[in-house]
Copies of this chain bind each other. A is one copy, B any other.
Amino acid sequence: MNKGRVFIISGPSGSGKDTLMKKVFEKAPDILFSISSITRPMRVGEVEGEKYNFISRERFEEMIANDELLEHNVFVGNYYGTPKAPVLNAVNDGKNMLIEVDVNGAYQILEKIPDAVSIFIMPPSLEILKARLTGRGTDEQSVIDKRLFEALREISCAKDYDYIVVNDDLETAANEFVSIMSVDKFKTDRNLELINKILNK
């Protein structure tokens, strides 16, 4: 069987990544999303196993020790990580698996899965990025400045990704995203079966 592909998705605050991913899932409901393991407490409205598996710090550290994670990170004192097994199983089953991570996580995954395809979600301009980060205008300027600094730091890594999807019009961006995933199945490494069959290998 031809293998599936890992897609790594990153995008800073203000890229509209989360809304875009929801729209992508509407258009391509067969896409598998990786579920992160995290040690922070569950928030109101969150469901175990939907976007996150909420696990203990002890279990997380065991996962690190056993090399059960594709990537992990610490954020405000909590662990965040991508379990390896579900991703590798999906790919071996010929399915695509989408992993949302920050640039740091992306680099870690690419080291372990060099043929993963990476997509960076970009805001359409600096002006729109600033407007999105300012939001409803209730935050202090220093908070907004920090968000902008962090967003620009992530964008400075965009050049290391395979594809850029500019999230200006949501519908257009979602279609572009889905087409990048669709075209991937024509890549040669996913068609070796046919080549070998014709050559009687």
Contact = CB atoms under 8 A, between A and B. Distances in A.
Interface of A: 120, 122-126, 129, 152, 155-156, 158-166, 176, 179-180, 182-183, 186-188, 191-192, 194-195, 197-200
Contact of A186 (B125, B164, B187, B188): B164
A184 to B, nearest CB: 9
Contact of A195 (B155, B191, B194, B199): B155
Contacts of A123: 198
Please give the count of copies of this chain that the complex contains: 2
A122 B198 contact: yes
A163 B188 CA distance: 5
Contact of A122 (B122, B162, B194): B194
A109 to B, nearest CB: 17
Per DSSP, are chain A's interface residues mostly helix, strand or loop, or mixed?
Answer: helix
Contacts of A195: 122, 155, 158-159, 164
A187 B162 contact: yes
Contacts of A125: 197-198
Contacts of A197: 125-126
Given A126-B197, A155-B199, A199-B156, A164 B183 contact: no
A129 B186 CA distance: 20
B164 A200 contact: no
20 contacts: A120-B188, A122-B194, A123-B198, A125-B197, A126-B197, A126-B198, A152-B198, A152-B199, A155-B195, A161-B188, A162-B188, A163-B186, A163-B187, A164-B186, A164-B188, A164-B194, A165-B186, A166-B194, A179-B182, A183-B183
A169 to B, nearest CB: 14
Contact of A126 (B126, B179, B183, B200): B200
Contacts of A126: 197-198, 200
Contacts of A182: 179
